[in-house]
């Protein structure tokens, strides 16, 4: 995943405590009297549920009882409320006793990390509930097909074919996590700024249900997309109370279309095509918003990242390298987008004196291993952010075969006096090293022209470039010359590069 920027734990903990579900759960945990009788699983009796609604001030809110029940279960799941069992009498139903839980003290006295742990436990429970099927989804058409519904409209459990209830809880949870992962990726790659843009729900659904190699959606894929959109609408609505995301639900008009037999995917495809034909048409943009919009909050980015880390994914955090050494920093920077790399470097440099930082970076940049060129390119990036106080450290490596070239570049760029010119060996070594760094992760199509232009300039400045280049003692010389021969559009120069690569391989 691309790196993400997160607020401090203190800010995130405040967001968690202010989320509607957590805030209501805390309030109910402080409201319940120790030993209050509830259902065996902790469910509130009707009279207590109504009291909870009143305690939360939800009497005039549509769905107030549901909100209160959700908050109560969130309190139980997080340990804010503790349920203990009580043995029933012969003719009574099983009951439980509810009391403020031991974790309630953490809300007032715990550190931010402990509060975020509580919130994350509650989030996991809400996600599990959101991924669980509704009764209608679970049964589907089974009752109609096998006669499970009696004449009175009630379901006869004995007539239900259990083998037909095909529901994979792990798969369902995976679809929801995939949708959240898509929202996360949209957020960290948002050109308008991290998580600045609301994402249409069909785009979120498509990222997890539509194959990447499908150029045009088939009717079957559209039906699957439609079903996924409507499913996510309910799930994201349930998750919005956790503070995980901001969500604008699917418009009622789309739901009406779904009831009439079009679940929205076909209409979305038509709306999207119209939007592509005329991006300035506000009416088309309004059409797209009918299908729901979502984006992760900063707390949501934290929560999804935490789940990804638990799943073993590499999910970097901007600033996490600030306390690490220079080797750790340079190992990562070549694989980050330049804006993220610069931000990471700024945070790393902020904790160090310029001269000491420069010495550490130069020492970590050495090496003839395959990662060496990338480290030196990262080193150049970080060094470019230092002022003249780093000059002594750069002068110390002027005679170093690996670092002398980049040191001279830095000194020249910073207006230093008395900088000795590099010899030809150092010039070619730095050239090959720079090209090797750019080739390190492969060359994208839009980068090939830039690389070809760079080589073209070098050839223009040095008539015997390839004849001299193959003799360069850099371990990546042959690989670089082969890449130039493969990428350069000038057939004559490409042929010269391939011949030079053969000579370099024979030499080594």
The tens digit of pLDDT for each residue in 301-323 reads: 999 999 999 999 999 999 999 99
Does residue 438 share a domain with residue 411? no
What are the tens digits of pLDDT across the range 71-89? 999 999 999 999 987 555 5
Determine the Cα–Cα distance for residues 356 and 361; give it in Å rounded to an integer.
Answer: 9
Same-domain check for residues 229 and 185: yes
Same domain? For 27 and 117 the reply is yes
Where a domain ends, among 131, 157, 183?
A: 131
In this structure, the strands spanning 36-39 and 95-100 are antiparallel
Q: Where are the alpha helices (DSSP H) in 384-423?
A: 391-395, 404-413
With a pLDDT cut of 90, the percent of the chain lying above it is: 58
Residues 216 and 292 both lie in one domain = yes
Residue 482: closest CA among 499, 459, 463, 460: 499
324 is a domain residue: yes
Give the pLDDT confidence of 85-131 residue by residue, as tens digits. Answer: 755 555 556 688 999 999 999 998 889 999 999 999 999 999 999 98
C-alpha to C-alpha distance for 305 and 342, rounded to whole angstroms: 22
Q: Establish if 362 belongs to a structural domain.
A: yes
CA torsion sign, 296 to 298 to 303 to 309?
Answer: positive
| Residue with tokens 């903990």, as numbered in its chain | 13
- Check which CATH number belongs to the domain holding 38 and give it: 1.10.10
Length of the chain: 508
- Residue 199's DSSP bridge partners are 294
Going from the C-alpha of 349 to that of each of 325, 343, 358, 360, 385, the distances in angstroms are 11, 10, 9, 11, 9
Q: Could you give the 3-state DSSP secondary structure of residue 152?
A: coil
- In angstroms, rounded to a whole number, what is the distance separating the alpha carbons of residues 243 and 316? 22
On whether residue 382 sits in a domain, the answer given is yes
Model confidence at 467: pLDDT above 90: no
Which residue would you say has higher pLDDT here, 172 or 205?
Answer: 205
Q: Residue 107: name the closest of 200, 25, 176, 219 by CA.
A: 25
For residue 270, being part of any structural domain is answered with yes
**Structural domain span for residue 217:** 169-300
Span 162-188, average pLDDT: 77
Lowest mean pLDDT among 277-281, 340-344, 471-475: 277-281
Residue where a domain terminates, one of 421, 453, 480: 421
β-pair partners for 274: none
In terms of domains, do 450 and 490 share one? Answer: yes
Secondary element (H or E) of residue 296: strand 293-296
Structural domain count of the chain: 4
- Please state which of the ranges 198-202, 253-257, 388-392 shows the lowest mean pLDDT: 253-257
Q: Provide CB contacts within 8 A for 301, sequence distance 6+.
A: 4, 6, 184, 187, 188, 194, 195
The verdict on residue 45 lying in a domain is yes
Round the average pLDDT of the chain to a whole number and report it: 84
Among 361, 393, 421, the domain boundary falls at 421
Q: Which of 373, 383, 386 is nearest to 430 (CA)?
A: 373
User: 420 - beta bridge partners?
Assistant: none
Same domain, 337 and 257: no
In a domain, 2, yes or no: no
How many Å apart are CA 353 and CA 339, to the nearest integer? 23
Residue 501 and residue 507: Cα distance in Å, rounded? 10
Please check whether residue 306 lies inside any domain of the structure.
no
Indicate if 411 and 435 belong to the same structural domain.
no
- Same domain? For 394 and 440 the reply is no
Nearest-angstrom CA–CA distance, 303 and 453: 44
- For the stretch 178-230, pLDDT in tens is 999 999 999 999 988 899 999 999 889 888 777 666 667 777 778 888 888 88
Residue from 405, 365, 407 nearest 390 by CA = 407
Domain-embedded: residue 380: yes
State the first-to-last Cα distance of the chain, in angstroms, to the nearest integer.
Answer: 38
Query: In terms of domains, do 204 and 229 share one?
Result: yes
Q: Are residues 428 and 415 in the same domain?
A: no
Instruction: Mark 205-243 as b/e (b = at least 16 C-beta within 10 Å).
Output: bbbbbbeeeeeebeeebbebbbbbbbbbbebbebbbbbb
In whole angstroms, what is the distance from residue 254 CA to residue 154 CA? 31
Q: Which pLDDT score is estimated for 59?
A: 94
**Nearest Cα to Cα of residue 184 among 316, 301, 336:** 301
Could you tell me if 200 and 290 lie in one domain?
yes
Predicted TM-score (pTM) of this structure: 0.80
Whether 23 and 95 map to the same domain: the answer is: yes
Is the pLDDT at 148 greater than 60? The verdict is no
Look at phi and psi of residue 227 and say left if phi exceeds 0, alpha if psi is from -120 to 50, else beta.
Answer: alpha
Model confidence at 412: pLDDT above 60:
yes
Kindly write down the DSSP assignment for every residue of 403-454, as one continuous string. Answer: THHHHHHHHHHTT-SSPPPPPHHHHHHHHHHHHHHHTTT---HHHHHHHHHH
């Amino acid at each position: 995943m691309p790196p993400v920027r997160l607020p401090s734990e203190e800010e995130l903990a405040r967001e968690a405590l202010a989320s509607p579900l957590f805030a209501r759960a805390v309030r109910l945990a402080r409201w319940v009297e120790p030993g209050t009788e509830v259902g065996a699983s902790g469910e509130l009796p009707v009279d207590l549920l109504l009291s909870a609604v009143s305690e939360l001030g939800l009497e005039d809110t549509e769905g107030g009882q549901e909100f209160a029940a959700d908050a109560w279960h969130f309190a139980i799941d997080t340990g804010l409320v503790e349920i203990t069992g009580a043995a029933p009498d012969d003719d009574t139903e099983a009951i439980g006793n509810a009391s403020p839980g031991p974790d309630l003290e953490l809300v007032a006295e715990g550190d931010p990390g402990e509060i975020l742990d509580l919130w994350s436990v509650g989030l996991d429970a809400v996600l599990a509930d959101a991924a669980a099927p509704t009764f209608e989804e679970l049964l589907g058409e089974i009752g109609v097909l096998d006669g499970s519904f009696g004449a009175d409209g009630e379901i006869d459990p004995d007539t239900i074919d259990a083998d037909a209830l095909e529901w994979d809880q792990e798969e369902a949870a995976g679809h929801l996590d995939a949708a959240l992962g898509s929202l996360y990726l949209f957020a960290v790659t948002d050109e308008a700024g991290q998580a600045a843009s609301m994402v249409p729900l069909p785009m979120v659904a498509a990222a997890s249900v539509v194959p990447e190699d499908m150029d045009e959606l088939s009717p079957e894929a559209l039906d699957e997309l439609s079903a996924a959109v409507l499913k996510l609408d309910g799930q994201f609505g349930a998750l919005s109370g956790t503070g995980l995301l901001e969500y604008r639900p699917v418009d009622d008009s789309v739901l009406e279309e779904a009831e009439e037999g079009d679940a929205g995917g076909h209409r979305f495809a038509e709306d999207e095509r119209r939007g592509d034909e005329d991006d300035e048409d506000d009416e088309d943009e309004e059409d797209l918003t009918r299908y729901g919009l979502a984006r992760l909050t900063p707390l949501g980015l934290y929560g999804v990242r935490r789940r990804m880390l638990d799943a073993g994914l590499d999910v970097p955090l901007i600033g996490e390298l600030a306390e690490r050494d220079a080797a750790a920093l340079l190992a990562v920077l070549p694989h980050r987008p330049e804006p993220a790399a610069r931000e990471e470097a700024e945070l790393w440099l902020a904790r160090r004196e310029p001269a000491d930082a420069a010495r550490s970076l130069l020492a970590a940049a050495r090496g003839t291993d395959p990662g060496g060129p990338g480290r030196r390119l990262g080193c150049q990036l970080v060094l470019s952010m230092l002022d003249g106080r780093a000059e002594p450290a750069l002068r110390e490596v002027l005679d170093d075969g690996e670092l002398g070239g980049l040191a001279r570049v830095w000194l020249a760029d910073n207006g230093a006096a008395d900088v000795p010119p590099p010899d030809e060996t150092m010039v070619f070594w730095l050239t090959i090293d720079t090209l090797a760094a750019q080739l390190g992760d492969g060359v994208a199509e839009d980068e090939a022209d830039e690389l070809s232009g760079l080589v073209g300039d070098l050839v223009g400045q040095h008539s015997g470039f390839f004849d001299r280049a193959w003799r360069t003692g850099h371990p990546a010389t042959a690989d670089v010359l082969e890449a130039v021969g493969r990428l350069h559009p000038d057939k004559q120069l490409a042929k010269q590069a391939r011949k030079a690569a053969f000579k370099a391989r024979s030499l080594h």
